């Protein structure tokens, strides 16, 4: 068509980033001008409009977009560039453009043709023709990736001293040990020489060196990868020896222009050392990357925009409003020349399935794929990203797909991609692909066998964030009038995590499922639109300031240029790691009775977090040696609403603050407050009240640090979030409809956001708190004021699949049936009162821990055995036990215990506590009986018998008692020399303290790691 109208010489084909580069170049070369400013040579130039930079790096980086991690707007842009050698895909085809219709400035009139590639002068006219922009996929061009984002310009400044600094940082990183600090580099001769040459820009040099120091740690020493600072995931890069370059994945291709800033520079150095690149290749990239401008993609002004889109009908009012800002008010829907579509999608039936576990999810993908290929159809499976696709292809389920399968990835050579795509629509062929190939890739079917059996079947394994992407993926089948079908197979955890959907998804009828998912997507889309508008305002402001700086450079105003550069440079930078950093951490610990088994663990975990080798400060200091950390700690114990005046226990120090940086004072407060778990009333607790209470601290010194965290520890669900599966339990939740103080999950998350406090949720009963954790996470992540998209960090203090029987949420049971088997032979005459006291201490401990549903039985034995207490509720258990004396036989006692265990109701789990101070001739027989008890218990309850065997006093035959304990894999021997030790053993068994001691060693480590991750994201992470 262009040839027919004789326009071929006036057409320029490019990508959006190239278009932005040309628009900038039409004004001048901002990169070279900036470097001259830094080197103090700006004023000596006179013909600014003729500037062109011929340096290798300026040309190489000339079309980069969002190149470096420290020049994105609040982390909103993508980390890698969207320019370069990417294959056909979204937003990459700007078909034609010319110069906007306006009078040329003097600069534009005298620029050489190489810089005015987009300025079109019709023959015989001095006025440039109006610019017409033809865009492929208009809706994506004005989508979130570009609209509201900026085209970012970086000037690569090369210098021998810059190279020396980079080499020294890399050498220190390779050698390990203490990381270099900025002060170390500042003491070097190279730094002094560099700052002398760049006089007045010491702030710039310091910031860039700090970025170098931070980014070196994100380059892997082994295989070819760098670490994504946002996700912590390894991102592979690709070494092309022929080009002498490193490429990064961009969309469905590999770009050798996109970089990850200094991480890519260090990757070049590593590959040169390994012999994969030459030393010159590495030297070419050794530069200080100076951000010198950001231009808003939205600020384009062609006379006319024309374009096409395959998803126009899916655009909402907001997106249409964006297009209208550019004069796009007319939309034409062109009917298909192939007639009615043969596309099928059973959205109300088998077309959508949501699986709860990853194994079920992978099984469904494999099963549906195999069913289709058995019918001689072709199947294309789209995964959201490479990581999830790799998880599937490394699983056993992938191997079950047979031989006719191919994987389509972004890093493949073009010829290999073309081959896989050409085979994808042939009979029996399976193609596993990432989502980037779901837009624009032509999987055209020419195989009659496939058509005769229903056409190409597409399986999408994720819910698209944008409906346009879903429509595009659907468009990979039933092309040009052919038959085809589409299906979604989704993982429930993905839906909940990405779209803020709670447990309600499990109750949605299949016929309503697609509507439910679309509503969830629309809510997320609306939130994204708000973010885009916020980004647009920032981009517009930065664009305006960049042009001011650009104009000052063009006018050779050195003084003004210096000031404006300093101003805009500061807006470009990510926060760099400070030399000093204060952290506030408030521990809010559940102190109701049910926390009895875990109080020691919680207390010692808090203490270990504050002081000692596992402390947060020690761990952070090791990871970030250049920072001096100050940790201020607050401790609060909380109970339930009905505990009224006793609900909150907290300490204010002499300054009035709840926080103290004195480790000893913090530990003293911990020991005082976390010492007496009691109260609680019902099972649900007041976590909302505890969060709100901490957020409301406003004394001098409260919540004043740069980084603030709250660590909530509990073992129970919050009011209004008692698990439905356990709602029939007695005394469950007295406030299951409404919090008595009208607190809601939304209101307390708003309080966290207002005070900028990050929340860690530590659960000693993950099954009990699951709904509470999910609701807090959902409310925080979906809150419109949570622009940083911070999330609740959940730390299960126990494996939810291995919760002890002592926890009422460990299964569908209310508690334990404890069978005491107590030796009352003559040798126990003077010890019996101590045994009874230990038995009573056990009952008291269980009562304090709110296990009022426990059942108690007692077997007392000498030469025979008698049952003195049978399946009695623990609150009604007798406090005194009679004494008979006599000989000692174990077997009758074991048989009596067997009868009681077998009578344990299904609502409880049996536990046996066997105590003796002697030995007997029938120990083997008793051990055999206990082995039968264990088999019966495992058959009935699905678990081995919890068996505690207590050797009391010096006369106990520990060998015989150990044989009895070995009757169950969960058998354990306790040795007690005195009555006091016996009581402690019984109390510990009652409280599950042995479990708590195991957990204590982990909690400080896990909290410290989570804090370190937060700091890394806050100060290192981002684009």
User: Are 337 and 157 a contacting pair, CB within 8 Å?
Assistant: no
Say if residue 75's pLDDT is above 60.
Answer: no
Q: What is the distance, to the nearest Å, from the Cα of residue 99 to the centroid of all Cα atoms in its chain?
A: 45
Task: Give dist(CA 250, CA 231) in Å, integer.
Answer: 17
Position 159 scores a pLDDT of: 93
User: Are 237 and 247 a contacting pair, CB within 8 Å?
Assistant: yes
Say if residue 113's pLDDT is above 60.
Answer: no
Say if residue 366's pLDDT is above 50.
Answer: yes
Among 201, 129, 204, 193, CA closest to 163: 193
* pTM metric for this prediction: 0.56
Angle at 798 between CA 797 and CA 799, to 5 degrees: 135
Say if residue 770's pLDDT is above 60.
Answer: yes
For residues 450 and 769, the model is more confident at 450
For residues 137 and 637, the model is more confident at 637
Say if residue 61's pLDDT is above 90.
Answer: no
Task: Give dist(CA 71, CA 570) in Å, integer.
Answer: 10
From residue 523, give the alpha-carbon distance in Å to each of 143, 489, 619, 676, 744: 17, 21, 40, 46, 20
Task: Give dist(CA 620, CA 1013) in Å, integer.
Answer: 10
Task: Give dist(CA 871, CA 899) in Å, integer.
Answer: 11
Task: Give dist(CA 477, CA 475) in Å, integer.
Answer: 5
Other beta carbons within 10 Å of 687 = 27
The model's pLDDT over 436-446, given as tens digits with 9 standing for 90+, comes to 999 889 998 99
Among 59-63, 400-404, 647-651, where is mean pLDDT lowest?
Answer: 59-63
Say if residue 85's pLDDT is above 70.
Answer: no
Helix (H) or strand (E) holding 911: strand 908-916
Among 923, 983, 925, 904, CA closest to 950: 983
Say if residue 890's pLDDT is above 60.
Answer: yes
The model's pLDDT over 370-406, given as tens digits with 9 standing for 90+, comes to 999 999 999 999 999 998 999 999 999 999 999 999 9
Task: Give dist(CA 766, CA 809) in Å, integer.
Answer: 9
Give the strand pairing for 855-861 and 238-240.
Answer: unpaired
Share of the chain above pLDDT 90, in %: 46
Position 1014 scores a pLDDT of: 64
The model's pLDDT over 935-977, given as tens digits with 9 standing for 90+, comes to 999 999 888 999 999 989 877 788 899 999 999 999 988 888 7
The mean pLDDT of the chain is: 81
Give strand pairing partners of 488.
Answer: 352, 460
Most confident of 88-97, 117-126, 251-260, 558-567: 558-567
User: Are 119 and 100 a contacting pair, CB within 8 Å?
Assistant: no
- Cα distance between the two ends of the chain: 41
The model's pLDDT over 195-232, given as tens digits with 9 standing for 90+, comes to 999 999 999 999 999 889 888 877 876 666 676 555 55
Angle between helices 993-1015 and 979-991 (to 10 degrees): 50
Task: Give dist(CA 890, CA 925) in Å, integer.
Answer: 8
For 154, the 3-state DSSP assignment is strand
Task: Give dist(CA 350, CA 991) in Å, integer.
Answer: 49
Q: Exposed e or buried b for every residue in 96-106, given b needs 16+ CB within 10 A?
A: bbbbbeeebee
Position 50 scores a pLDDT of: 45
Task: Give dist(CA 926, CA 246) in Å, integer.
Answer: 72
Task: Give dist(CA 840, CA 833) in Å, integer.
Answer: 11
Task: Give dist(CA 236, CA 219) in Å, integer.
Answer: 10
From residue 512, give the alpha-carbon distance in Å to each of 364, 501, 517: 20, 15, 9
Instruction: Quote the DSSP letter at residue 104.
Output: P
Task: Give dist(CA 365, CA 347) in Å, integer.
Answer: 17
User: How many residues would you count in the chain?
Assistant: 1023
Give the strand pairing for 342-344 and 483-491.
Answer: parallel
User: Are 956 and 916 a contacting pair, CB within 8 Å?
Assistant: yes
The model's pLDDT over 255-293, given as tens digits with 9 standing for 90+, comes to 887 788 899 999 999 999 999 999 999 999 999 999 999
The model's pLDDT over 297-336, given as tens digits with 9 standing for 90+, comes to 888 777 888 878 877 778 888 888 888 888 888 888 888 7
Helix (H) or strand (E) holding 110: helix 106-110
Angle at 981 between CA 977 and CA 983, to 5 degrees: 130
Mean predicted confidence (pLDDT) in 641-653? 91
Among 81, 92, 99, 86, CA closest to 135: 92
Position 918 scores a pLDDT of: 85
Task: Give dist(CA 359, CA 160) in Å, integer.
Answer: 55
Task: Give dist(CA 242, CA 548) in Å, integer.
Answer: 42
From residue 176, give the alpha-carbon distance in Å to each of 170, 269, 584, 994: 10, 16, 30, 39
Rg (CA), the chain: 35
Give the strand pairing for 815-823 and 908-916.
Answer: parallel
Sorting pLDDT into bands at 50, 70 and 90, what band is 727?
A: low
């Amino acid at each position: 068509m262009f040839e027919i109208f004789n326009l071929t010489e006036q057409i320029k084909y490019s990508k959006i980033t190239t278009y932005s580069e040309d628009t900038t170049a039409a004004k001048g070369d901002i990169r070279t001008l900036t470097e001259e400013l830094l080197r103090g040579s700006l004023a000596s130039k006179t013909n600014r409009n003729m500037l062109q930079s011929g340096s290798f790096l300026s040309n190489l980086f000339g079309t980069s977009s969002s190149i470096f991690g420290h020049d994105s707007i609040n982390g909103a842009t993508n980390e890698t560039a969207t320019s370069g050698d990417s294959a056909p895909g979204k937003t990459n085809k700007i078909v034609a453009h010319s110069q906007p219709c306006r009078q040329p400035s003097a600069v534009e009139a005298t620029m050489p043709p190489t810089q005015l590639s987009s300025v079109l002068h019709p023959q015989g006219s001095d006025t440039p023709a109006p610019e017409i922009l033809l865009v492929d996929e208009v809706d994506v061009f004005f989508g979130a990736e570009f609209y509201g984002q900026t085209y970012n310009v970086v000037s690569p400044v090369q210098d021998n001293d810059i190279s020396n600094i980079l080499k020294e940082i890399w050498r220190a990183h390779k050698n390990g040990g203490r990381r270099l600090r900025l002060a170390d580099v500042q003491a070097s001769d190279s730094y002094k020489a560099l700052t002398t040459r760049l006089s007045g820009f010491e702030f710039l040099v310091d910031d860039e060196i700090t970025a170098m120091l931070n980014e070196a740690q994100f380059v892997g020493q082994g295989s070819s990868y760098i670490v994504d600072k946002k996700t912590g995931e390894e991102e592979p890069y690709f070494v092309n020896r022929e080009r002498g370059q490193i490429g990064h994945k961009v969309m469905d291709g590999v770009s050798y222009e996109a970089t990850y800033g200094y991480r890519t520079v260090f990757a070049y150095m590593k590959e040169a050392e390994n012999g994969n690149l030459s030393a010159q290749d590495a030297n070419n990239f050794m530069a200080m990357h100076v951000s010198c401008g950001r231009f808003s993609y939205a600020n384009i002004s062609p006379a006319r925009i024309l374009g096409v889109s395959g998803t126009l009908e899916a655009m909402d009012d907001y997106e249409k409003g964006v297009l209208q800002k550019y004069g796009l008010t007319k939309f034409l829907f062109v009917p298909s020349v192939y007639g009615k579509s043969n596309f099928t999608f059973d959205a109300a039936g088998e077309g959508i399935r949501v699986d709860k576990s990853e194994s079920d999810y992978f099984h469904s993908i494999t099963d549906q794929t195999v069913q289709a290929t058995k019918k001689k159809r072709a199947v294309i499976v789209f995964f959201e990203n490479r990581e999830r696709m790799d998880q599937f292809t490394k699983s056993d389920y992938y191997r079950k797909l047979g031989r006719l399968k191919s994987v389509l990835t972004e890093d493949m050579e073009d010829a290999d991609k073309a081959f896989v795509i050409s085979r994808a629509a042939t009979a029996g062929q399976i193609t596993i692909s990432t989502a980037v190939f779901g837009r624009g890739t032509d999987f055209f079917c020419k195989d009659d066998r496939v058509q005769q059996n229903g056409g190409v079947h597409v399986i999408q394994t994720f819910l698209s964030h944008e409906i346009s992407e879903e429509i595009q993926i659907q468009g990979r089948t039933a092309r040009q009038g052919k038959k085809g079908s589409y299906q979604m197979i989704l993982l429930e955890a993905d839906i909940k995590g990405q779209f803020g959907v709670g447990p309600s998804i499990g109750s949605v009828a299949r016929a309503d499922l697609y509507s439910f998912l679309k509503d969830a997507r629309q809510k997320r889309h609306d939130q994204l639109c708000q973010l885009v508008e916020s980004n647009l305002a920032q981009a517009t402001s930065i664009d305006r300031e960049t042009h001011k700086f650009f104009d000052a450079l063009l006018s050779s105003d050195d003084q003004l240029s210096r000031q404006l550069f300093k101003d805009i440079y500061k807006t470009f930078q990510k926060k760099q790691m400070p030399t000093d950093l204060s952290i506030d951490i408030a521990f809010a610990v559940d102190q109701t009775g049910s926390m009895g088994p875990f109080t020691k663990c919680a207390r010692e975990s808090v203490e270990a977090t504050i002081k000692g080798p596992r402390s947060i400060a020690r761990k952070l200091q090791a990871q970030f040696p250049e920072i001096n950390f100050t940790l201020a700690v607050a401790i609060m114990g909380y109970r339930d609403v009905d505990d009224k005046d006793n609900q909150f226990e907290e300490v204010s120090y002499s300054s009035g603050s709840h926080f103290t940086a004195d480790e000893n004072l913090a530990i003293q407060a911990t020991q005082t407050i976390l010492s007496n778990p009691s109260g609680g009333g019902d099972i649900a607790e007041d976590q909302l009240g505890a969060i709100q209470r901490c957020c409301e601290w406003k004394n001098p010194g409260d919540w004043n640090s740069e980084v603030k965290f709250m660590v909530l520890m509990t073992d129970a669900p919050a009011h209004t979030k008692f698990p439905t599966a356990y709602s029939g339990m007695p005394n469950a939740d007295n406030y299951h409809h409404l919090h008595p103080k009208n607190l809601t999950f939304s209101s307390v998350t708003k309080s966290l956001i207002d005070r900028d406090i990050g929340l860690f949720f530590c659960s000693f009963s993950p099954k009990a708190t699951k709904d509470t954790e999910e609701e807090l996470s959902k409310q925080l992540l979906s809150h419109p004021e949570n622009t940083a998209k911070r999330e609740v960090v959940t730390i299960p203090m126990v494996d939810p699949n291995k919760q002890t029987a002592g926890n009422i949420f460990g299964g569908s049971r209310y508690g334990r049936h404890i069978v005491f088997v107590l030796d009352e032979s003559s040798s126990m005459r003077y010890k019996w009162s101590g045994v009874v006291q230990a038995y009573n201490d056990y009952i008291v401990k269980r009562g304090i821990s709110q296990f009022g549903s426990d059942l108690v039985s007692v077997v007392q034995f000498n030469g025979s055995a008698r049952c003195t207490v049978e399946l009695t509720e623990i609150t009604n258990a007798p406090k005194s036990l009679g004494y008979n004396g006599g000989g000692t036989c174990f077997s009758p006692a074991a048989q009596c215990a067997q009868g009681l265990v077998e009578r344990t109701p299904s609502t409880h789990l049996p536990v046996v506590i066997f105590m003796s101070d002697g030995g007997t001739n029938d120990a083997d027989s008793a051990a055999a009986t206990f082995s039968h008890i264990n088999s019966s218990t495992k058959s009935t309850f699905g678990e081995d018998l919890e068996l505690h065997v207590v050797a009391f006093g010096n006369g106990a035959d520990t060998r015989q008692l150990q044989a009895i304990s070995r009757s169950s894999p969960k058998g354990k021997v306790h040795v007690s020399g005195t009555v006091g030790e016996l009581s402690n053993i019984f109390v510990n068994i009652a409280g599950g303290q042995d479990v708590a001691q195991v957990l204590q060693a982990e909690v400080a480590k896990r909290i410290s790691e989570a804090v370190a991750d937060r700091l890394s994201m806050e100060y290192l992470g981002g684009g």
